[in-house]
Amino acid sequence: MRLIQHFIDGVEVGGVGDARQAVFDPSLGRPQAEVVLGVFEDLDEAVRSAKAAQPAWAATNPQRRARVMFEFKRLIEENMESLARLLASEHGKVVSDAKGDIQRGLDVVEFVCGVPHLLKGEFTTGAGPGIDVHSMRQPLGVVAGITPFNFPAMIPLWMLAPAIACGNAFILKPSERDPSVPVELAKLAIQAGLPAGVLNVVQGGKPVVDAILDHPDIKAVSFVGSSDIAQQVYARGAAAGKRMQCMGGAKNHGVVLPDADLDQTVADILGAAYGSAGERCMALPVVVPVGAATANALRAKLVDAIGGLRVGVSSDPDAHYGPVVSAQHKARIEEYIEMGVAEGAELVVDGRGFSLQGHEEGYFLGPTLFDHVKPGMRSYHDEIFGPVLQIVRAETAQEAVALASEHQYGNGVAIFTRNGDAAREFAEQVEVGMVGINVPIPVPVSYHTFGGWKRSGFGDLNQYGMDGIRFYTRTKTITSRWPKGGAVTDQSFVIPTMK
């Protein structure tokens, strides 16, 4: 059986720990590989490698670092098909969606190819008599990223690309559920010219996470996962003096105003709710139609459209989505469906019991639709992270805004309308970090920045864009004076001013 190892100092290694964990094929429900589970010593070896390699990499001029990132981008594009198929086989998402996963990460690699410009500081000449002031951005040193199962290419690239381009060395701890693609990306980075040790991958579970958070030589950590864990990781890392950036869960709402184009809205909601089997932090699991007439019409169109969805294996080119990632996660989603029924929501379409011929042991769930979901229900309050769409009816647009604003999560939200004034007002008022106007999954482009509010994000800086550059660098400001002649100025015992 294939063994997935660590990638440390430019080579694959088995590490010190002897524990292994099965990596499953979600379409078949059986193991296809094993991944080594690291221990502190493995993480410490990666840190030593990174710490040794980082100074020379930081001293490499930004233009040359950019050339490595250009080549890295080219190699990923060249290997897109094989990477996507490997990703899909471990995650369960269909191959076309896996390519989108990789492409959204590639967008950030492309953005940081402009790092010579992005790292430019500021300069003020003549800030005072003979005094100039300038600033520079410098790398932090050794930094780390802890990434989830749902985007095994995109989120690692969101973290490692800006970190490395800025001159840091990076240690990645990917999900043990789909750990192969991060190792393949690290190999491509070496092939692109990245020095050994600048990018390391350490496999494992909680012991490796704890080791990252406690290691004194790791200066910053980026994390994506559930909100409860994100909060714990943020607190522990911050207490250890690290710069922290922790992204949590979501329960994104799609508000549908009476004037919306319902056919287009249904098409948008369908892909956003059920794509990747709902295993996205930017999925759209809650739709909020305003007014009974809008709700009834939307429900009817959704039921018709759901009937046309095709659930299949990850390699099926005609499938709209594939299995969920594991048997445990499938059982958890089914528990939430049962919970919604018990809480009094109307189960309009039940996705439980779905079976695919020849893949009866796969982790498949059909699309599920609830109506008359209420804000007090736990199934509404919690993130389900599966192919489950909930209709929460609102009487007014103000009530719809309040639903999204008052939820514990504030990651993304969308509004569907033809009214520009209503959309503009909604965008200004709603208390959510990322807003889509007739855009169901409002993930910002790579030169903006990604991040949610409330329990969806812990830390002051978001991912990628200029916030990514800021997170992986620190600013140094230099005030210099070159006096004319040899005259000595009088001593001063007060704070300097430019008066």
Instruction: Produce one character per residue of 258-274: b if its CB has 16 or more CB atoms within 10 Å, e if not.
Output: bebebeebbebbbbbbb
485 assigned to some structural domain: no
Q: Can you give the pTM of this predicted structure? A: 0.95
Do 258 and 235 share a structural domain?
A: no
Domain that holds residue 411: 253-437
In a domain? residue 468:
yes
Is residue 158 domain-resident?
Answer: yes
User: 100 and 230: one domain?
Assistant: yes
Helices in 80-202 by DSSP H: which ranges?
Answer: 80-91, 95-112, 115-118, 154-165, 180-191
Q: Is residue 491 part of a domain?
A: no
Asked whether residue 489 is domain-assigned, the answer is no
Give per-residue pLDDT as tens, 81-114: 999 999 999 999 999 999 999 999 999 999 999 9
Q: List the catalytic residue out of 113, 166, 246, 281.
A: 281
Tokens of 124: 């003020």
Q: Does residue 79 belong to any structural domain of this protein?
A: yes
β-sheet bridge partners, residue 253: 286, 413
The CATH number covering residue 467 comes to 3.40.605.10
pLDDT in tens, 427-459: 999 999 999 999 999 999 999 999 999 999 999
- Same domain for 60 and 39: yes
What is the CATH number for 258?
Answer: 3.40.309.10
Same domain flag for 240 and 257: no
Do 410 and 465 lie in one domain? The reply is no
Long-range CB contacts (within 8 A, 24+) of 421-429: 422/257, 422/397, 426/255, 426/397, 426/401, 429/401, 429/405
CA 185 to CA 179: how far, in whole Å? Answer: 11
The verdict on residue 9 lying in a domain is: yes
In the sheet with 30-36, reading across from the earlier edge strand, the strands are: 2-4, 30-36, 20-25
261 & 175 share domain:
no
Same domain, 33 and 71: yes
Sequence letter at residue 132: D
Tokens for 288, please give them. Answer: 């909020």
186, 96: one domain: yes
Residue 281 annotated in active site? yes
Are 44 and 169 members of one domain? yes
Which parts of the chain have pLDDT scores under 70?
485-489, 491, 498-499
Answer yes or no: do 293 and 405 share one domain.
yes
* Per-residue pLDDT at 493: 75
Structure tokens at 18: 């002897």
pLDDT at 498: 65
Please give the pLDDT value at position 50: 98
Report yes or no on 341 lying in a domain.
Answer: yes
Find the helix or strand (DSSP H, E) in which 389 lies.
strand 388-391
Judge if 357 and 432 occupy the same domain.
Answer: yes
Let me know whether 380 and 417 are in one domain: yes
**Total number of domains in the chain:** 2
Residue 486's pLDDT is 64
Instruction: Compute the distance between CA of residue 338 and CA of residue 331 in angstroms, rounded to an integer.
Output: 11
